[in-house]
Amino acid sequence: MLFGQAAPCYKETMKKISYGDIVKATNWLSLVSKICSSRTASIYIGRFEFDTDLVAIKLFHLQENGARDSFVTECKVLRNTRHRNLVKAVTVCSTVDLENNEFKAIVFDFMANGSLDMWVHPKLHHTSPKRVLSLGQRLMDVALALDYMHNQLTPPLIHCDLKPGNVLLDYDMTARVGDFGSARFLSSVPGSPEDLVGVEGTIGYIAPEYCMGYKVSAGCDVYGFGVLLLEMLTGRRPTDAMFTDGLSLHKLVSSAFPGRLGEVLDPHLSHEQQLACDRVFMRRYMVHLVEVALLCSMESPKDRPGMGEVCARILSIKEAFFELC
């Protein structure tokens, strides 16, 4: 594998945990232990009595429509993948609670540095606005994960909900793609109903063809990656209130490319990246990254590159940047 190496897919003996273990690990599912919550699941931080490492425990709201399917999908993905840029599961719990209600949870390695969304939008998360984030390496991490999923797995795996909130950062600031509740393995049978999509994912990151009944394809993830990159470069969400009357994040950046990028790029990003390099080199570096973002977020899937090409482009940009600095 040219850009990323997945670890060998060998069977590991997963730790057996009970409902009681999870309750104790999360201080009886206390609000203090809850990291975040969505319609289908809540995530808690915890530590088991028999271990010293912190873990993230995803509890599924099985009473909600789609939650059970999300659990099954995530288990399938975790069972069939292994890569340094994918979030790793520690174990799975499928049992009943104290009232004999069905209970399902997945335990993950704890990602100590939160989500990429927290770093791109620190004020919204009430964290320090000062960001020390190696842009090129984090992008490379995500690109490698997608290249592995699209081009190195059989059948290919499509995430279907790529966004900054689903990219997590571990203790070493390595980016890992997570939350595979909407993911699909592409069928080897042409026209299979499993490849057909409804409108899933998150508004702003959904590829345009997604809403037109097109089949799931790698291009859906490429589009999400392009929007994610534009968001990192500008500090603006694709759902920002300014994007009305046909204006989108892609159109905003495209209209300023390449000569007026300074008007739309996140000023915090510029200061942070210029610490190591002359402005003229940084300008060239950013122009090439913006070009990748715009290509990936093209409206037509035919105009988007594959993730193999995206990895090659980002690697080339990184190498050129460090040679010039």
Q: Which of 180, 127, 139 is nearest to 288 (CA)?
A: 139
The rounded distance, in Å, linking the Cα atoms of 280 and 70 is 47
58 in Cβ contact with 41 (< 8 Å): yes
161 belongs to the catalytic site: yes
Report H helices in the chain: 19-25, 67-80, 116-120, 135-147, 218-234, 249-256, 267-273, 279-296, 307-324
Q: Which of 295, 290, 269, 286 is nearest to 324 (CA)?
A: 286
C-beta neighbour count of 170 within 10 angstroms? 17
Question: What separation in angstroms does the CA of 154 have from each of 5, 84, 178, 251?
Answer: 15, 18, 19, 35
Q: Which position among 21, 117, 141, 161 bears the catalytic label?
A: 161
Peptide bond connecting 122 to the previous residue in cis, omega within 30 degrees of 0: no
The set of catalytic residues is 161
